[in-house]
Amino acid sequence: MSRRITPVLFATLAAALLGACATQPHKAVAANEVAQAAPLPLMPLPAHIERHAGTFAFGAGTRIVVPTGDETSRHIATQLADWVRGSRGIDLAIASEPVARNAIVFAIDPSVAGSEAYVLDIDADHVRIAASDPHGLFHGAVTLWQLLASDAHKGLPAVHIEDAPRFAWRGLMLDSARHFQSVDEIKQLIDQMALAKLNTLHWHLTDDQGWRLEIKRYPKLTSIGGCRKAVGPDAALTGGANKPYCGFYTQDEARDVVRYAAERFITVVPEIETPGHAQAAIASYPEFGVTGTRPPVSTDWGVNTWLYNVDDKTFVFLENVLDEVMQVFPSTYIHVGGDEAAKDQWQASKAVQAKMHKLGLEDDEKLQGWFIARLGDYLQQHGRRLIGWDEILDGKVPASATVMSWRGTKGAVAAANQGHDVVLAASPTLYMDYLQSDAHDEQPGRPQVQGLKTVYDFDPVPDAIEPDKAKHVLGAQITVFSEYLSTPQRLQHAIFPRMAALSERTWSAKPDWNGFLARLPAQMARYRAAGIDAADSAFAVRIDAVPAAAGTARLTLGNQAGYGEIHYTIDGSEPGTSSPRYTQPVDIALPAKLRANAFVDGVALAAARARDVDALALNRRNSDQLDTCADKLVLRLEAPLPLDGPRPVYKVDIMNTCWRWKQASLDGISHIDIDVNRLPYNYQLWKDAAGVVGRPKASKAGEVEVRLDSCEGKRIATLPLAPAKNGAATLSAKLPSQTGGHDLCLLVTGKPGPFLWVIGDVQLR
């Protein structure tokens, strides 16, 4: 992977802007016309766009002309023709002979400077895509297709586009260990990556909860390590708690993924986790673990503590594994993990400690550094380069190691300033398992919201990197850990459209949020056409209603992006642009069936959102509308039942099962009803486990306590959990009469594990 693109192209762009445009065979349109023109539906935004008068009328007679004998160009032309057939139903023939007009000409042209760069010219007679390498031609073809795929343009607008990526690493990490994706699902993802001009698929193939790549010398890695017990919602995927969750890729399947990606100019970088996240491997071959005993393949999310030992025979194993990995994956980089290796087992092992001392290493971090460096040497001997998560910096790794910064950007800053190449995969912003809104209809995941704009605002070069070290930033990637992303729909909802934000920030020279928003509806239409279930979370209208004068509620509407005109109805009908427009809070008569949506140019930006509001609903909160009492480790978790779905989702702090309803209006309230549910507690929290809050319970099953004004305040109700011992139930209790607004604290007694009690809807009446 080459370093960040040096801005050769941009120098030529500047020259063009300063007057060299006259050399272009186009007539530039007047500045005011350009300003008024709708933005071209391009994502990511090209480095330089010059609009001209006129159009190219492409149609069934248009031909794609490729250089004679250039098979790669012909292949790209075939892909372009496939996309056009798919999106416009038009067949474009491919030719090698020059054509006088009505042609899309591909040219390999060494004067187009920069890796992956291209120039796209459209005038009335021709389209020309020029690049010095096939990857650039491919990007040019994608840009052309985005122009063709747009319904807004009857003909292709005349333009001159010069484009090149800002960064050489524009990626997506896919976790196939926690949940497994089929080869077809991965190919669909690769298609979308290619259309977003991403170029690196980092494939997380092994972890505590599953080993997913066939290794022929060690068949138990997949026969044992490829299966775990189905815990919690996994049972719905397997068909029952007694059916294990299994899956792996044969080497042929992995090669097929590599080939498919390569045809789309995407490199697949495999990850084999070491020395931690190794429980599935140790479950398969306990002799490579520290204790010699066999753990189960983990069913627990979090930090599991099973590590590889540091014996020579374990390195033989790992090197044999890497040999097969290198046979399947031709990438320069091989990812060897390195994250979250809790050192408890190494510290407790006389053999490991003896080896550490024999090697003259002062502590376990240095031992991890030695471990990783040994793998790095092995990779280097085979012409490959090591990349690892930022913990590899804690030991001493060779300068040639590339660091993937995930614990925020600190790792990237430290690594780049020390001269390591770095890739930004910063949590939480670039972690797609974080949810993109706090809406109640979001899926399970991590509720520290990382909205579309938050991702868009992420600059891959943190300010604290010294200017002369910024060249070490190879780029950035979104990271798709799949604990909660268990189905293709959930994966897609998490990835899209946030992937478009990452793609623009790693490709385009400068951010342009407003332009991005204006170009996004076209991108959302492309997702829909491709069968991609993209999230509309940024545009979905949030409906808030609070009590107003008797028999009415005050309605507040808005969306996360603050984008579009909001229209609403109160009778349950579908809102359109002729429905009342929302501009400020309004009072409505109860009961009302509210529906609302946001529109730009008459086009709905999201699915309409609905909320039925009556007097009872105003006194009801779901767990997303409650605050957790202390934000220790808040998750949105799915109930395990019903197996055939849909299953309710709860917001809960798994280290402190306590929720707060701020300023509940208690006038006239005499009862509380609380929906509860019992979920499995399948978490390994390592040192954080000491911080899990337990509270004295009055009965074996425990209870929900309602306390007034604060969590230490007067207990005004106790709701025993015993009636819910089989799972979901609605518990009810009387409340002593109060007046006015009070904070209510709702806490579960006992301590989480092996079950976790959660609360859903809370109704005051």
Q: Specify whether the CB–CB gap between 280 and 298 falls below 8 A.
A: yes
Show contacts with ligand ACM in window 360-389 (CB under 6 A).
389
The catalytically annotated residue of 179, 204, 277, 420 is: 277
Please say which residue, 88 or 410, places its beta carbon nearer to ligand ACM. 410
The catalytically annotated residue of 121, 208, 271, 340 is: 340
Residue 303 CB, shortest distance to ligand ACM, in Å, is: 8
Please say which residue, 425 or 664, places its beta carbon nearer to ligand ACM. 425
* Bridge-based pairing state of the strands 93-95 and 103-108: unpaired
Any idea of the CA torsion for 213, 214, 220, 226, to the nearest 10 degrees?
40
Alpha helices in 338-486 (DSSP H): 344-348, 350-358, 364-381, 410-417, 452-456
Per-position DSSP letters for 110-135, written without gaps between them: TTS-STT-EEEEE-SSEEEEEESSHH
Contact status: 516 vs ligand ACM (CB under 6 A): no
3-state secondary structure 176-214: CCCCCCCHHHHHHHHHHHHHCCCCEEEEECEECCEECEC
Residue 291 CB, shortest distance to ligand ACM, in Å, is: 23
Q: Specify whether the CB–CB gap between 61 and 102 falls below 8 A.
A: yes
- Binding-site residue total for ligand ACM (CB under 6 A)? 4
Write down the residue that tokens 């020309």 correspond to: 128
Q: For residue 417, count CB atoms less than 10 angstroms from its CB and return exposed for 0-12, middle for 13-18, buried for 19 or more.
A: middle
**CA-to-CA distance for 160 and 22, rounded, in angstroms?**
12
Rounded (10°) angle between helices 488-495 and 498-507? 40
Please say which residue, 406 or 539, places its beta carbon nearer to ligand ACM. 406
Q: Which residue is nearest to ligand ACM (CB)?
A: 339
The dihedral built from the CA positions of residue 6, 199, 111 and 47, taken in this order, carries a sign that is negative
Query: 10 Å Cβ neighbour count for 312?
Result: 9
Residue 202 CB, shortest distance to ligand ACM, in Å, is: 11
Structure tokens at 353: 């400690």
Binding marks (x or -) toward ligand ACM, 330..359, rule CB under 6 A? ---------xx-------------------
Residue-level length of the chain: 765
The catalytically annotated residue of 175, 191, 207, 483 is: 207
What letter represents residue 445's amino acid? Answer: G
Please say which residue, 339 or 627, places its beta carbon nearer to ligand ACM. 339
Please say which residue, 234 or 340, places its beta carbon nearer to ligand ACM. 340
What letter represents residue 73's amino acid? Answer: S
* Bridge-based pairing state of the strands 103-108 and 63-65: parallel
Task: Tell me the C-alpha to C-alpha distance, in Å, between residue 383 and each of 259, 375, 377.
Answer: 20, 13, 10
Residue among 610, 628, 443 at smallest CA distance from 542: 610
Is 635 in a helix, a strand, or coil?
Answer: strand
Structure tokens at 406: 């995930």
277 is catalytic: yes
Is 533 in a helix, a strand, or coil?
Answer: coil
Structure tokens at 698: 């009055």
* Bridge-based pairing state of the strands 581-582 and 565-569: antiparallel
The HSE-up count of residue 723 (CA atoms within 13 Å, CB side) is 11
Please say which residue, 209 or 523, places its beta carbon nearer to ligand ACM. 209
Please say which residue, 432 or 605, places its beta carbon nearer to ligand ACM. 432
Please say which residue, 301 or 582, places its beta carbon nearer to ligand ACM. 301
Residue among 664, 668, 656, 652 at smallest CA distance from 758: 652
Residue 683 CB, shortest distance to ligand ACM, in Å, is: 14
In the chain, % helix, strand, coil (3-state, to 5) comes to 30, 30, 40
Residue 604 CB, shortest distance to ligand ACM, in Å, is: 36
Please say which residue, 479 or 619, places its beta carbon nearer to ligand ACM. 479
Show contacts with ligand ACM in window 389-418 (CB under 6 A).
389, 406
Please say which residue, 273 or 703, places its beta carbon nearer to ligand ACM. 273
Task: Tell me the C-alpha to C-alpha distance, in Å, between residue 641 and each of 163, 298, 680, 757.
Answer: 51, 21, 11, 14
340 is catalytic: yes
Residue 282 CB, shortest distance to ligand ACM, in Å, is: 18
Residue 392 CB, shortest distance to ligand ACM, in Å, is: 11
Binding marks (x or -) toward ligand ACM, 149..188, rule CB under 6 A? ----------------------------------------
Residue 134 CB, shortest distance to ligand ACM, in Å, is: 33
Residue 172 CB, shortest distance to ligand ACM, in Å, is: 14
Residue 384 CB, shortest distance to ligand ACM, in Å, is: 21
Active site residues: 207, 277, 340
Which residues would be at the binding site for ligand ACM (CB under 6 A)?
339-340, 389, 406
